[in-house]
Structure 1
Amino acid sequence: MSRRSHLIYLAIGFPPAAKSSAYRMRETANQFVAQGWDVTVVTIAQSSWERDFGLDPTLLEGVDPRIEVVELPLVREDLETDIRTYSRERALRPSVWAAEFRQSGWDAFPEPIYGGWRADLEDAVRDLHASKPAQLVLATCVPYVTMAAAHTLWRTAGVPYAVDFRDGWSIDVIGGEEAFAPDSEQGRWERRVLEDALSLWLVNDPIADFYRRRYPDLADRFHVVRNGYDEDSVPAGLHRPDPEAGLVFGHLGVLTSPPELLEALIEAWKLARRRDPLLARSRLEIRGQVGSGARREANTHMTLIREAGPHGVSFGGAAPKADVPRIFAGWDVLVLMIMGGRYMTSGKVYEYAATGLPVMSVHEVEHDATTVMTGHPLWVQPCGFDVSRLADAFCAAAALALSATDEEREAARRHAAQFARAAQLGPAVRALSRLVDPEGDA
């Protein structure tokens, strides 16, 4: 930029929140600072994340120290587990209380859980702008209520804004269908916010194409900005398996998919162990967040994992960002289990691709992860969730782990290099900076 400009970045889930989107938020803020901006991040209190997805303090190590972080005292009241704080109505009629809680949020903004945060977010951006004028607001979703705050500052103070829409709002990326109609309350809000935005980022081409069809008059504002991977998450060396000891298959990531998917995976693993002596002495390790809120690590997923313990399945706990390279370095095959279809993206697929390890895709055949993995030399392609075919995939992945050469592992890393997070977000931030200041040097 020709002068230092100020960005207000509405990023609910910024580090140290243990949420997969925190990586994208961190790199976005870092890129703005690197390109000459002063950045103020608006997020919620760390105590709020402790009751939701949890905290990962190691994420803070990669945050540029020049970034100012403002934590608002906002919480999800529906996640409170201390019954001593409950009102009489909540204690005696919890379902009625929950319905009224969701409705009160909806009354402020058509997003039941988070709509009630609207006034606080709007006040925060107005106060920040008053104390240090902003030249740009960037809102990242979810929650979508952040868009209301960005739009309010544009309407009242003329501050331009952009939206990192990621998975979008009016599309159900899991079901692959329209989430709500254009003439619904949500649809009217979406149109209002998008038509006044400078730029709109989405994480893959199918979602961007959906929005270009939905809003043809705004088509040139939709840009694909993929998630990518952090280069410090990739192990430095190349891993070589020990077939005598057995292989270690690993799944790393937030596990919130329907339990039926995990159940199919585990049944396929059991079948594969009966078919292949190498797999019979191998292990399947699951790492990462399993659920959220009070049900984190106390849910059907965990029951399935524990019951599969005698079959070599284990849960290694949450995975701090700083430990990711070490975790990958101890595995022989990566298991990429993701729900959804062609509109669904994944943050972990980029890291998986960059490790130089074989990757076994466990998702629908038509999935955006397929776009990322196509051309990867150590990829066992998806076959859906049929147990017998998944068992065959486990056997194929084990064979690939043994046969993979160092040249193939290096080729896998080269394939993934195009998806380095900085390579994805750097140009996007530069282009947005030029929209704000066409005469700048960004």
Structure 2
Amino acid sequence: MTKRRPLWDSWKRSRTRRSGSRPHMIYLAIGFPPAAKSSTYRMRATANQFAAAGWDVTVVTIADEAWERDYGLDHTLVAGVDPRVRVVKLPLFREDLETDVRAYTERRALDHNDYLTELREQHLKVFPEPVFGGWRPALEEAVLRLHRERPAELLVATCVPYVNLAATWKLWETHRVPYVVDFRDGWSVDVINGGEAFPRDSVSGRWETKLLTDAVAIWNVNEPISRWYRERYPELAHKMRIVRNGYDAASIPAESIPAPADRPLAFGYLGALNLPVPLLEAVLEGWRKARAADPALTDATFEVRGHIGSGWARGDNRHAELLKAAAADGVVVGGSVPKAEVVDFYSRWDVVVLMVTGGKYMTSGKVYEYMATGLPVVSAHEAEHDASTLLSTYPLWTGAVGLEPDALAGAFRRAADLARNADVTERDKARVDARQYAREEQLIPAVREVTELVLGVGGPAGTAPGAAADAPALAREGGS
């Protein structure tokens, strides 16, 4: 009986390609710019780094109009996309986010909840994902068509949505195109509540197992999630890599200096307000108590910027009501901030507040950006949280105090002291230490490794065919 060559070895064989041409990669990235989603920054940087490493990248995402129903659009993001990257937008939409009642069926108009239940059951029959499962046929057809137009040497799928994995498998099954699974937050691990999201013998579990078994590489955003997968699939541990979200250097001010004594302090939060209501209530109560008790916080403001909800509830939900009611306590509510303007907000704030849900499996990409600013950080999350692990060595952190309002009030007061008294030397050291989390520093080694595995060229310090020798350096400088 002939011994089967391991897939890991077979990927190292060079694939036939036109002489002098760049290899082609299909990137399933639903949420690519201009989608105003937190994952869009990782997607943009991933496409840019593969382009810088010598690949011709074709991104598959969905129509801009679909994001107008969801979190909205940020067109400033598009300017940062490498011009060599091709973007294909499929006419896919979330029916459940439709707000035009004229488009409703009679049944939906009369019983919306019953309609949603039936819609999700229909999606689950196609793929085990209740919101996006119905997109499977369109995504499969799209990758097959793109491969017919120009054969791909690699496919990278970033999840969510997990239905991207169906299209990934279709291209592998029919044409043996190697693929990378960028799980970001994982699938079988419940990053919010902790523990297993579904068993291995479930429909989702069987999908996950077969996709990971044949993957070139499996990327996750932090050590706890990667550890979960190494323990769940020990035979695949050699494929798993931690590729953190990191931060974009263009969003970070040139310096961090102590707040002057002649003006009120400015606290700020930047990010989507898709938090549990009790978490936001605790933060606002802690802020109110701190401001009332500490003269250092007299006239201080707490500016909250970001999307308040999504879809039909955007800007009109319990979160918005709580924030509006807190105006008397110096809480200022804006809206979302275009990526190109993020640096301006960090420049005018004295303290940043990290509000994030989840526990030990959750990090939040925002923590890297906050650390890079060199500003004091107030944590508003569970004490046992991966953000706490990262911040444990950050000198301007007020600690993991949990979500009791009195404890949060103490954290706000300590941050006020740091804002006035932490000197430039301490701030500069914090900023230097955070440079390891720059987004390109996380992605370049991962992209280089995949290029070597798939094309069998380069090596740890090499570049892909068609890439300039200084491509990684150029990618670092390009604000990707």
TM-score (norm 1): 0.98
Q: Does 1:412 align with 2:430?
A: yes
C-alpha distance in structure 1 between counterparts of 2:49 and 2:82, whole Å? 9
Q: Does 1:281 align with 2:299?
A: yes
**Is the 2:221–2:242 Cα contact (8 Å) retained in structure 1?**
yes
* Aligned twin of 1:208: 226
Give structure 1 regions of 4+ aligned residues with deviation exceeding 6 angstroms: none
C-alpha distance in structure 1 between counterparts of 2:399 and 2:442, whole Å? 25
C-alpha distance in structure 1 between counterparts of 2:186 and 2:261, whole Å? 44
C-alpha distance in structure 2 between counterparts of 1:238 and 1:439, whole Å? 43
- Which segment drifts farther, 115-124 or 233-242? 233-242
What is the CA deviation profile of residues 28-68 of structure 1, one whole-angstrom value per residue up to 9, with x for unaligned ones? 00000000000000000000001101000011111001100
1:372 deviation in Å? 2.0
1:89 deviation in Å? 1.5
C-alpha distance in structure 2 between counterparts of 1:3 and 1:379, whole Å? 49
The amino acid that maps onto 1:57 is H
What is the CA deviation profile of residues 361-397 of structure 1, one whole-angstrom value per residue up to 9, with x for unaligned ones? 1111221112222221211111000111110111000
* Aligned twin of 1:183: 201
1:391 to 409, 431, 434: 409
The amino acid that maps onto 1:66 is R
What is the CA deviation profile of residues 315-345 of structure 1, one whole-angstrom value per residue up to 9, with x for unaligned ones? 1111110010001101000001111111002
C-alpha distance in structure 2 between counterparts of 1:96 and 1:405, whole Å? 59
* Aligned twin of 1:321: 339
C-alpha distance in structure 1 between counterparts of 2:272 and 2:97, whole Å? 18
1:350 to 360, 363, 368: 368
C-alpha distance in structure 2 between counterparts of 1:375 and 1:171, whole Å? 27
The amino acid that maps onto 2:367 is V
* Aligned twin of 1:33: 51
C-alpha distance in structure 1 between counterparts of 2:111 and 2:229, whole Å? 41
- Number of matched pairs: 442
C-alpha distance in structure 2 between counterparts of 1:371 and 1:187, whole Å? 29
Match of 2:165, SS state, is: helix
1:3 deviation in Å? 5.2
Structure 1, unpaired ranges of 5+: none
What is the CA deviation profile of residues 148-188 of structure 1, one whole-angstrom value per residue up to 9, with x for unaligned ones? 10111000011111110111001110111111111111111
1:42 to 56, 60, 68: 60
The amino acid that maps onto 1:184 is S
Q: Percent identity?
A: 55
The amino acid that maps onto 2:328 is P
* Aligned twin of 2:11: none
The amino acid that maps onto 1:376 is Y
Q: Does 1:135 align with 2:156?
A: no
**Is the 2:308–2:319 Cα contact (8 Å) retained in structure 1?**
yes
**Is the 1:239–1:329 Cα contact (8 Å) retained in structure 2?**
no
Q: Does 1:432 align with 2:450?
A: yes
**Is the 2:282–2:403 Cα contact (8 Å) retained in structure 1?**
yes
* Aligned twin of 1:104: 122
Match of 1:74, SS state, is: coil
TM-score (norm 2): 0.91
Match of 2:378, SS state, is: strand
- Which segment drifts farther, 431-440 or 69-78? 431-440
1:11 to 29, 43, 47: 29
1:289 deviation in Å? 1.3
C-alpha distance in structure 2 between counterparts of 1:130 and 1:264, whole Å? 54
**Is the 2:258–2:423 Cα contact (8 Å) retained in structure 1?**
no
C-alpha distance in structure 2 between counterparts of 1:82 and 1:48, whole Å? 14
C-alpha distance in structure 1 between counterparts of 2:405 and 2:394, whole Å? 24
The amino acid that maps onto 1:355 is T
**Is the 1:168–1:207 Cα contact (8 Å) retained in structure 2?**
yes
1:103 deviation in Å? 0.8
Structure 2, unpaired ranges of 5+: 1-13, 15-19, 464-480
Q: Does 1:221 align with 2:235?
A: no
What is the CA deviation profile of residues 192-221 of structure 1, one whole-angstrom value per residue up to 9, with x for unaligned ones? 111111110000011011111111111111
**Is the 2:451–2:457 Cα contact (8 Å) retained in structure 1?**
no
**Is the 1:375–1:415 Cα contact (8 Å) retained in structure 2?**
no
**Is the 2:375–2:419 Cα contact (8 Å) retained in structure 1?**
yes
* Aligned twin of 1:73: 91
Match of 1:417, SS state, is: helix
**Is the 2:257–2:427 Cα contact (8 Å) retained in structure 1?**
no
Higher relative contact order (CA 8 A, sep 6+): 2
**Is the 1:243–1:278 Cα contact (8 Å) retained in structure 2?**
no
**Is the 2:305–2:335 Cα contact (8 Å) retained in structure 1?**
yes
